[in-house]
A and B are shown apart, each in its own frame.
Chain A
Amino acid sequence: MTITIETVQHIAHLAKLQLSDTEMSRLADEMEKIVGFADKLGELDIEGVKPTTHAVAVHNVLRDDELKPSYDRGKILQNAPERDAACFLVPKVVE
């Protein structure tokens, strides 16, 4: 599968990344290699094999609807790059 500059642009846009032209052409090459590696799996004959979504065949792993104490706010905010006394702070975003 060929990765075009347009594909890289699209992915960069979705990932909110700004890339220079050199970076984009380098990434196009690298991504093509990565996807090519994954394409190798396509050579396998999986006729009749059901898609697997989980590594173990376990289902209905559920918890009861019970309250547990929340964390101390200071702890939750502790590692935030930017915060005030009560909230995480992020650059202004408006939809």
Chain B
Amino acid sequence: MDEFKTVIGLEVHAELDTKSKIYCGCTTEFGGEENTHVCPICSGMPGVLPMLNRKVVEYCVRAGLALNCAINPYSRQDRKHYFYPDLPKAFQTSQFDQPLCLKGYVDIVADGQPKRIGITRIHIEEDAGKLIHEVGQTRVDYNRCGVPLIEIVTEPDFENSAQVHAFLEALREILLYTEVSNCKMEEGSLRCDVNLSIHRVGEPFGTRTEMKNLNSFSAAVAAVQYEAQRQRRVLSAGGKITQDTLRWDDAAGNNYVMRSKEDADEYFYFPEPDIMPMVLSDGYIDRIRQTLPELPAHRRERYVSQMGLPLYDAQLLTVSKFISDFFDQTVAAGAQPKSVSNFIMGDIMRLLNERGWAAEKLPISAQSMAELLSLIEKGAISNSMGSKVIEIMFDEAKSPTDIVQERGMAQVSDAGAIREMCRQVIAENPKIVDDYKGGKVKAITALVGQVMKMSRGKANPSMVNQLLEELLN
């Protein structure tokens, strides 16, 4: 069996999270009744005057800076011509030889190995409309037409599907943290095309195919594995790969030819006369650079190396920018990183899940969270009482100190009172006491439980433990 190498490059389209479309004031909101987010500009009527949305330029530059790109000081839009009813103008306003961003990279870790994936370019363009195929006819809905996109083109730096998956995860995270795209795969906000070829080790690169319609990360992974294997089979059997555009069928788990090289696209790109060039000053680029948040990979690194958190914690905390910001603010307000992390990963995540709330709906401020943790640290309430206070804070806008006072949840650390309860529990549970004295040291936890129950959770558990031992021995 010959040894083959796989070479993969990606083209990722991300819808930008602007309010209005790229050249007109229609909403970018997903869905809506067919053709109700449409005006003469985005339905390609003759004689209209499209004008570029300034946020689109800004978001593309933001994404470019976050992906370590150079920003082109002079950039231009071009018309890419193709005739298909999802584009009413018969061309897509895109960028050709002067894209906004060039030459960046993303560092990923796949199968435990670090790897740098080069970004060739990022450009802005308009999304196309939606075609609804029916028997004998196709219905066209232009609501999505003119929604701004960035297209991110990578270098052919991937060797396998694990790297593709790690890159897509990293990219999604960066676009979410920079608030450039909401990356909702189910709404088509993030889509990806795969270019793939294989060659025998020591030989030049093989002929590549392009695969479209990859609407989820798992589809991208499955499609890469399938296509690499398919090409391997063809070449091993002495066949040839043709330069085809393939369409991935996720339900069937295979792909089929959409078009072959004979009808390769010829787009007749030329400069878009309706949109004036973009000239970006260093000052403008620097101002955007200053608004970039700390990126998730950097936060994880900081959580592990500076705060001493386990990598597992760091990964969970950075799943959402909101949670990560909340964590940082709570620590900044004086709380111990590991205690904050435990409560976020435990009670807070559980309560958000139970209620089906997005993290952004968390009704607790970092200040209150720090206050609660300091109550626990001072021994004013127990850890488990802390969980109860968090739950109350989800429903009532009160400070943890007020909640503890109002409901009499303060921890009892009065040795006399606890000793009295311990005596009573020992008297009421002779069997457990016998077990303990007979050598079953663990039986004491049952007694601790009884005392805690009697105190309605308020007794200081370590004192209970200590006093029980004292009384029993």
Residues of A within 8 A of B (CB): 13-16, 53-55, 58-71, 73, 76-77, 84, 86-95
Contact = CB atoms under 8 A, between A and B. Distances in A.
A31 to B, nearest CB: 15
Interface stretch (B130-138, B225-233, B429-437): B130-138
B161 interface: no
A61 B52 contact: yes
Contact of A65 (B54, B266, B278): B54
A62 B57 contact: yes
B20 A65 contact: yes
Contacts of A13: 263
A68 B139 contact: no
B304 interface: no
Interface of B: 18-20, 24-27, 33-40, 43, 51-57, 76, 83-85, 131-142, 247, 258-259, 263, 266, 271, 273, 275-279
- From A13, A86, A95, residue with most partner B Cβ within 10 Å: A95
A90 B137 contact: yes
Given A16-B83, A62-B54, A70-B26, A54 B133 contact: no
B35 A66 contact: no
Contacts of B20: 65-68
B138 A89 contact: yes
A89 B34 CA distance: 12
- From A13, A58, A89, residue with most partner B Cβ within 10 Å: A89
Nearest to B271: A53
A57 B127 CA distance: 28
Given A54-B277, A59-B279, 16 more contacts: A13-B263, A14-B83, A15-B83, A55-B273, A58-B276, A60-B279, A67-B26, A70-B36, A70-B38, A76-B35, A76-B43, A86-B139, A89-B138, A90-B140, A92-B136, A95-B247
A4 to B, nearest CB: 16
A63 B135 CA distance: 41
A90 B138 contact: yes
Contact of B25 (A67, A91, A92, A95): A67
A9 to B, nearest CB: 12
B273 A54 contact: yes
A84 B33 CA distance: 13
Contacts of B139: 84, 86-89
25 contacts: A13-B263, A54-B276, A59-B277, A61-B275, A63-B52, A64-B54, A64-B55, A67-B27, A68-B26, A68-B39, A70-B26, A70-B27, A71-B39, A73-B38, A77-B35, A86-B34, A87-B35, A87-B139, A88-B139, A88-B140, A89-B139, A92-B134, A92-B135, A92-B137, A94-B138
B60 to A, nearest CB: 13
Given A62-B53, A73-B36, A87 B141 contact: yes
A63 B273 CA distance: 17
A89 B140 CA distance: 6
Nearest to A10: B266
A87 B132 contact: yes
Given A54-B273, A93-B84, A63 B54 contact: yes
A65 B57 CA distance: 11
Nearest to B275: A61
B65 to A, nearest CB: 19
Nearest to B266: A14
A86 B130 CA distance: 13
Contacts of B278: 59-60
Contacts of B136: 92
B255 to A, nearest CB: 13
A92 B52 CA distance: 33
A39 B53 CA distance: 38
Contacts of A77: 35
Contact of B38 (A54, A67, A76, A95): A76
A66 B19 CA distance: 7
A65 B16 CA distance: 12
Nearest to A65: B55
A50 B132 CA distance: 46
- From B37, B136, B140, residue with most partner A Cβ within 10 Å: B140
B55 to A, nearest CB: 4
A95 B141 CA distance: 17
A19 to B, nearest CB: 16
Given A14-B266, A59-B278, A65-B18, A70 B138 contact: no
A61 B34 contact: no
Contacts of A62: 51-54, 57
Nearest to B133: A94
A92 B133 contact: yes
Q: Which 5 A-B pairs have the closest CB atoms?
A: A68-B25, A53-B271, A87-B139, A65-B55, A62-B54
B80 to A, nearest CB: 13
